[in-house]
Structure 1
Amino acid sequence: MLPDLRPPPPRPSSAPREVAVLGSTGSIGRQTLEVAALFPERVRVRSLAAGAGWEALAEQARRVRPARAVIADEGAYVPLRDALAGTGVEVAAGDDAVAALAADAEVVVAAVVGVAGLASTLAAARAGARVALANKESLVVGGALVAAACAESGAVVVPVDSEHSALFQCLVGEDPASVERLLLTASGGPFRDRPARTFDAITPAEALRHPNWSMGAKVTVDSATMMNKGLEVIEAHWLFGVEPERIGVVVHPQSVVHSVVEFVDGSSKAQLGVPDMKVPIQVALSYPERWPAPHERLDWPAAGPLDFVAPDPERFPCLTLAYDALRAGGAAPAALNAANEVAVARFLDGAVRFTDVPRLVEAGMRAADAAGGAGTLGALRAVDAEARRLAAEAARSLQPA
């Protein structure tokens, strides 16, 4: 699923990469367009796709002038079409149209939020594209399906998540047999030092104040519960073929070391840099080359001490739940992910407490127990729906926050 980690010969710079950006109006999508704008001779944005924000998509399309712009919400087709009339941009709507974009580009930036991104990620993998993967749920829910599609088509996945990009960069040129352990770093979120006895009183506004990264609301809450790191452990398993016991997590508040590879001879290799998602986005677009760019550099004298502590599973039980789901296999990660999406949404709505999030996830994970299988997209969708139902039912049974 990953490209051969032996550095291949550089690609001729005269041939720009044809790129489709799925989820273009989200944080990763917007930053991808900023990176692409730095390299007009090397990157051509061929297609843009978004979920429901047709106004933002229209603005991007007028500025970037892709060949096509697709909105997943079919009800937004007419206003998008009218907004782009006379621009020469072809307009379409619906999930099938988004998947068609994914099947018709050299590089697909998969940045659709949540399990909704799985279908288009699969389409890109089946078409043999390079998948610049920013949608971790695609591997959490459908890792086996994506891996099988890549094996059949020759598609490769280059991760965009900062931690997995760090691991990827550290592994280039290394023999997989020499790898002892992967170590994902975690910021610890906004509550790494907050007493656990106060967690019941955490508000959505507090959970959304991440100390290091600027991300969407759902991912930011996942960082606060450390579910984000649990999902990344599952993603790392599928990306790098490493079993759960050899994937660790360490809390690193400064977010300077983005992840570490430990080798069998006792040495370690880490990737460091300022917290800036444009760097891993550019790596995914440029690999195996490195393109000069004006991204912020790490100020080494000012970096100060770097701290590393073990995560506390009792304060952040979502991390343990993710490991449990990975070890259980089958449909368990899909159920975990679906229940978590419901739990986070209910927390942001003020319907449940912060400490209820792992309880709702546990309730939703029961969907995996009755699952008949997880070998098809249809089966995974059925598990996803049942986990959401169980998590929502558990939310209704709780006292209001």
Structure 2
Amino acid sequence: MIIGIPKEIKTLENRVSMTPGAVESLVRHGNKVLVEAGAGLGSGLTDAEYETAGAAMVSAEEAWGAEMVIKVKEPLDSEFKYLRKGLILFTYLHLAAAESLTHALLESGTTGIAYETVESPDHTLPLLTPMSEVAGRMATQVGAHHLEKTQGGEGILLGGVPGVYPAEVMVIGGGVVGTNAARIAMGMGARVTILDLSHQRLQYLDEVFQGRITTMMSTEPNIRQMITKADLVVGAVLIPGAKAPNLITRDMLSLMKKGSVIVDVAVDQGGCVETIKATTHDDPTYIVDGVVHYGVANMPGAVPRTSTFALVNQTTPYALRLAAKGVDALKDDPGLALGLNTYKGKLTCPAVGEAFGMESQTPEEALGI
């Protein structure tokens, strides 16, 4: 198969979808790999390294002309012209927060396979997990930074100092993002509370953290109670493939401290905070009702060297299977089939259909499994 690796064009997105080592594996299995010149530079990977691995260095148009294009982030408007029938696009899509992209994929007939809805046999999300780990850990870091007075925050040191109370950190969602955010916050000395809908998950977190964090059920009264105390709120809610629910509403902001910070990691799925909007690394925050909002939709792009290798470690085995069998690889792997979001002009992710009120099929129905 001919595989294209375009350069990411989202603002300050420095990740790349395949490392030279992954390219070497693809080439060794009989594939031709076209890498856009300069695609890896943001992650410290040179064109020469890709050429040594067996790739051909090409233009963006040539990379997008491949049979399968592997990316990190969803196509932007300027890339819609490359979408076409017969193209397999393997990347993060997050369609529930991207209606125009959804229509572009459907109208073009592109086969869109989304990293974030691929499942393992144990129902975990192997291609989302590594970036969730990065984003969760970063959420605490950037939250601590924006609590500084010079960044618009309260002027609070997350861990406090002897004799001075530490910051209160509230994490909504006890999954991969939330667990990693809590781990870093606890390590920095903050007082941490995690809210989640699953009592079983809260039991697990209590055991893992050995009672050093507080766990609460994620109910509206508990959220309202906690945000009055919180200095940093991390939105870590995930419903795979679906739009995140608004758990912090506009009226709740009046309950929060002036200069407190919200970091909504769920922003790429619409956000779990009503007042959140997607921002960029070069302009990451804005203030609503005195509360600092951080809504960068590609947080791991700020640490591309770590993020690229973490992501490619997980995506390469799937890329090899898709390169060997094309769409038929999905018929052999029910978990990979769940990554199918668009196919032959049909929407194949019911959660996205629900978000936009559009007709949809399951991947199994679309593939005839």
TM-score by length of 1: 0.32
Q: Which has the higher helix share?
A: 1
Which structure exhibits the higher relative contact order, with contacts defined as CA atoms closer than 8 Å and separated by 6 or more residues? 2
TM-score by length of 2: 0.35
